[in-house]
Structure formats: C-alpha cells, structure tokens
Amino acid sequence: MKVIHSVHPEDFKSYQTAQIRERFLIDQLVQADKLNCTYTHYDRMIVGAAHPVTQSVELENYPNLRADYFLERREIGVINVAGDGEVTADGQTFQVNKLDCLYIGKGVKSVKFTSKNSAQPAVFYLLSAPAHAVYPTTLMTNEDAAKVHTGSIETANKRTINKYIHLEGIKSCQLVMGLTILHDGSVWNTMPAHVHDRRMEAYFYFDVPAGQRVFHYMGEGQETRHILMGNYDAVVSPPWSIHSGSGTASYSFIWGMAGENLDYTDMDAIAIPDIR
C-alpha cells in the first residue's frame, strides 16, 4: 500500500510540479479486477478504489495496519461511480448502484465488491478512517441523499451537493462523505474556497470527459498551487490547504473528510479577492 506523509505548509511553498504530484496526487487507483489503497498520514485516512470486472475483489488486510483485518479498528465509506454493483459485508449483500453510498462500520471482517455486468462494471471509491465505536452498516441511495443546490450559471459553478455520511445523515465516528455534480456549462467547484484546520479532505474526480482535465487548486489561501487531474484521480488536501477546482468541461467529484468533528459547515471561507 502506497504511503503519503504529511507536509508542512512552509515546505510546500518550495515544491515544483513533479514534487506536488508525488506528495498529494493519488492516480492509477482504478484498475480492472483490483482493489488499490493509499495510506495517508492526514488523519490516518486511507483512499482506495475497487474495480471488479470479470471477478469479485475483496478488501484485504495490509501489514501497515498492524491489525487482524482491515476494519478491526476502522470504518469505511463506499460510493459507486460507474455500473451497477454489489457489496457484501460479513455475508450481507447490498445493491450499490451508481452514486449510491454504503457505510461499513468497525468490526466487519469480510467485504467483497462485485459488478452486476462485466460489460458495464462498477467502480467503487473507498475512504477509510480510524474508528473508536461501532456504527451499523448502512446503505443510502442517491435518491435519499440530502441535496443542496448552489452556485449559478453566471459564475460557472452551478452544482448539486449530495451529502451521505455526515452529522444529520449516515452515522459514523470520523468520516464525512458525499459528492458534488456540476451542471452542464459549469466548471468551478468549491468556490469561494475554504480551509478547515480540524479536518483533512480528499477529492476524487469522476465523469471527467475523455481528453478533458480538472485544475485542482491547493495550498494556503495566499500561496496557491495546482495539480492537473484526470478521470478517476484522487488528491489529498492537508488541513491548511484550500481544495477547489476548475475543469475544461463539466465533471463530478467525491469529497471526504476525517478529523475532530462531523459538522459539514465547519469551514473558514476565503474571499475570492483574497486568494493569491
């Protein structure tokens, strides 16, 4: 399992493009019939993806965890971003179709991912954080997700935020998770930008059209940098960093956090004229 270490904001100011990509970008996550994970030292979050095509794939244990099984002291959130699929947790099978979310709590020993149709396979995006208490495995369909409509066509950021794992949604220890869909003609996400010093955050970009890219902006509000992102690329945002993006076409992305609290609105906004 790849490991990403924490970076101090003063050190980050001297990074060049290749070093920024090495320290924050998580690419090549989605590979046929594999489950790939990256361990980050930001709130001990694990970012992963399972892409069962011709066979099921299982959530394996990793030596890094020093645990008897992956979820011995962890919880995990799963969102499907492609074809219809199934997730089996300790023998209980859940239908997890595109944009549906499944939360699996601490103590579940066996997790298996399957596509319903190999011609249109599922892509399951995974976020896992340490957990100190047990919460039940819970499925929430996209239809049942809390939705917030925000932005406008005039500012190229009309979007729908779908909240799944949060204070008023699926219960968890640390995880907060959902996804944002940009409407046709809109390309900006999370603008105005913000930071939240009590939580890290990870973004996973999907439904990025072929040949298009997203410029993901990060860094302190007055010391911004960017990473160029493709479809199914993920990026880690430290607590001191903004996390915003602008694409060459409309796209969607999953956001997920772990840290001191579950309050989705806990953020410190940065006015657009103050960004540098």
How far, in Å, CA of 103 to CA of 163, rounded? Answer: 13
Establish whether 166 is an annotated binding residue. Answer: no
Establish whether 226 is an annotated binding residue. Answer: no
Establish whether 196 is an annotated binding residue. Answer: yes
Q: What ranges do the domains of the chain cover?
A: 2-274
Establish whether 194 is an annotated binding residue. Answer: yes
How far, in Å, CA of 79 to CA of 135, rounded? Answer: 18
Instruction: Read off the pTM.
Output: 0.95
Tens digits of residue pLDDT in 116-126: 999 999 999 99
In this structure, the chain runs to a length of 276
How far, in Å, CA of 153 to CA of 126, rounded? Answer: 31
pLDDT surpasses 80 at 261: no
Tens digits of residue pLDDT in 100-155: 999 999 999 999 999 999 999 999 999 999 999 999 999 999 999 999 999 999 99
Dihedral, 80, 81, 84, 86 alpha carbons, nearest 10: -20
**48 and 128 Cβ atoms separated by less than 8 Å:** yes
Question: What would the CATH number be for the domain defined by 2-274?
Answer: 2.60.120.10
Distances (CA, A) of 123 to 78, 259, 272: 10, 26, 35
